[in-house]
Amino acid sequence: MSDTRKHDTDLNDLIRRGKALEGFEQYYADDVVMMENDQIFEGKQVNRERELEFFSNVEQVHEFRIGASAVEGDTSFCEQFIDVTFKDGNRMTMDEIAVRTWKDGKVVKERFVYKGL
């Protein structure tokens, strides 16, 4: 198993077990660039704050799972299915694709592609 496949499998397993923030701390580079469709967010601190804001507003997780995944060289892909209710009572379901670029065991770029909410 390649190192990229091993790291990606472990990160996806952490997400499956509800430990996405732990996975973020362990596997994302300090200079990571994350994209939500066409929006770009640079740096681990900026993206950590975004992750913390999202998860701190979640009241209930109905489903947060990883579907199909693949690794080719230093790039990995996975399906993510999210169904949560926020503290304000709004419920959100999302079906997205995450495309990750890895370098030295860390995610240096991640792009989420999904249909607008």
Output the domain CATH number for residue 38. 3.10.450.50
Q: Is 20 exposed, middle or buried (0-12, 13-18, 19+ CB in 10 A)?
A: middle
Helices (H), 17-109: 20-27, 44-56
Rounded to an integer, what distance in angstroms lies between the CA atom of residue 30 and that of residue 34?
Answer: 12
- pLDDT tens for 62-80 read 999 999 999 999 999 999 9
What mean pLDDT is predicted for residues 19-47? 96
For residue 94, the number of C-alpha atoms closer than 13 Å in the C-beta half-sphere is 18
Report the pLDDT value the prediction gives residue 116, as an integer from 0 to 100.
59
92 three-class SS: strand
pLDDT at residue 3 is higher than 90:
yes
The total domain count for the chain is 1
Other residues' Cβ atoms within 10 Å of the Cβ of residue 88: 7
CB 15 within 8 A of CB 90: no
Is the per-residue pLDDT at 50 higher than 90? yes
Give the per-residue pLDDT at 115: 83
| Residue-range definition of the domain harbouring residue 107 | 3-114
Which one-letter DSSP state was computed for residue 3?
Answer: H
pLDDT value of residue 72: 97
Please give the pLDDT value at position 109. Answer: 98
